[in-house]
């Protein structure tokens, strides 16, 4: 193995957005994560929407009144033109 090419490997403090913290080993000294095993729906069994950008609310507000009909606005059929009578 070549010497002096590997990064330093030390204990890392991991902080989750839910407030949970734990220690592991990594090349970084500190890590911040959005989801951990204490708040992830797979491990907790609870369904939880993680929406940091507000995409779900934006979608609901956009389609709340009109439903899915607003998706088809651009696809209106044109009426066939009647031949001109002379």
- Using CA atoms, how far residue 49 sits from 11, 23, 35, 53, 83, in Å, is 31, 26, 11, 12, 57
For residue 16, the number of C-alpha atoms closer than 13 Å in the C-beta half-sphere is 13
pTM of the model: 0.44
**pLDDT higher than 60, residue 74:** no
Range of the domain at 34: 10-64
User: Is 43 domain-assigned?
Assistant: yes
User: Domain of 56: which CATH number?
Assistant: 4.10.80.400
Judge whether 30 lies within some domain.
yes
* pLDDT over 90 (residue 40): no
Range in 28-42, 44-58, 72-86 the model is least confident about: 72-86
Q: Is residue 71 part of a domain?
A: no
- Residue 28 near residue 8, CB atoms below 8 Å: no
């Amino acid at each position: 193995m070549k010497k002096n090419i590997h990064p330093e490997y030390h204990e890392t403090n991991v902080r989750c957005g839910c407030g949970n913290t734990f220690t592991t080993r990594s090349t970084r000294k500190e890590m911040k994560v959005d989801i951990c095993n204490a708040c992830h729906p797979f491990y907790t069994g609870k369904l939880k929407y993680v929406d940091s950008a507000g995409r779900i609310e934006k979608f609901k507000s956009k389609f709340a009144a009109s439903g899915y009909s607003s998706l088809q606005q651009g696809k209106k059929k044109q009426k066939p033109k009647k031949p001109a009578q002379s």
